[in-house]
Structure 1
Amino acid sequence: MSNSNSLFGLLVGTAVGATLGILFAPDKGSATRQRIADEALTAADKFNSTAHDLKDKASTTAHDLKEKVSSFISNDKDTLDSNLESLVKEASVKADDIISVLEKKLADLKAKNKKYQKA
């Protein structure tokens, strides 16, 4: 916003200065016209320079933002992958523990069943 305000102020200032210069010019008309042309070229150069600088800033800012978002997404993906791998390992260990407990219970039930069948 401040760059567009500065640019607007520059253009308005140039126009006001040129108008006042024409009204109060002590020089001949040809010299005044040449000065106005020079002022217009200077203002156009400043405008082009400012526009180019704004374009470069916008491009740089967009690139930096893209890099930050990409890095953020990449880090989150790595964290998610790591957490998922850890969760799968933990679930696998717990599943093995559950299977071991169930096998022991099954063995106990088989032993009790044999005992009842003999009796």
Structure 2
Amino acid sequence: MKTDKLVLGVLGGLAAGALMGILFAPEKGKKTRKRILSKGNDYADDLKDKYETLLGTITKKYEGIWLEGQDLLSDGKEKLEKTKKEIQKLEI
């Protein structure tokens, strides 16, 4: 969670700094608006890529944990059945 907030904070700071730089640059309004739109699109694309990467990482970790849990459950069931059979042998 800390990494998410850090990435969003850095991207937000970069976006704010770029916007301030563009707004205070001595250019015509039309050109400035185009630059703002272009930078905004660039930041949106970058943020989308980072989000997709983060989502992919989380998904892979979740799947790994899920599979590991299934393996542990399967092993536990096998050990339980083995123990039951051993107990039944002792009772006979």
Q: Same fold (TM over 0.5)?
A: yes
Name the count of aligned residue pairs.
91
Structure 1 letter corresponding to 2:88: V
Q: Which TM-score applies when normalising by structure 1?
A: 0.68
Structure 2 letter corresponding to 1:36: I
2: CA distance between counterparts of 1:88 and 1:29? Answer: 87
Partner of 1:37: 37
Identity among equivalent positions (%) equals 21
Residues 96-115 of structure 1 mapped to structure 2, 5 A cutoff: none
Partner of 2:87: 87
Unaligned 5+ segments in structure 2 are none
Larger Rg: 1
Residue 9 (structure 2) pairs with residue 3 (structure 1)? no
Q: Which TM-score applies when normalising by structure 2?
A: 0.85
Structure 2 letter corresponding to 1:68: E
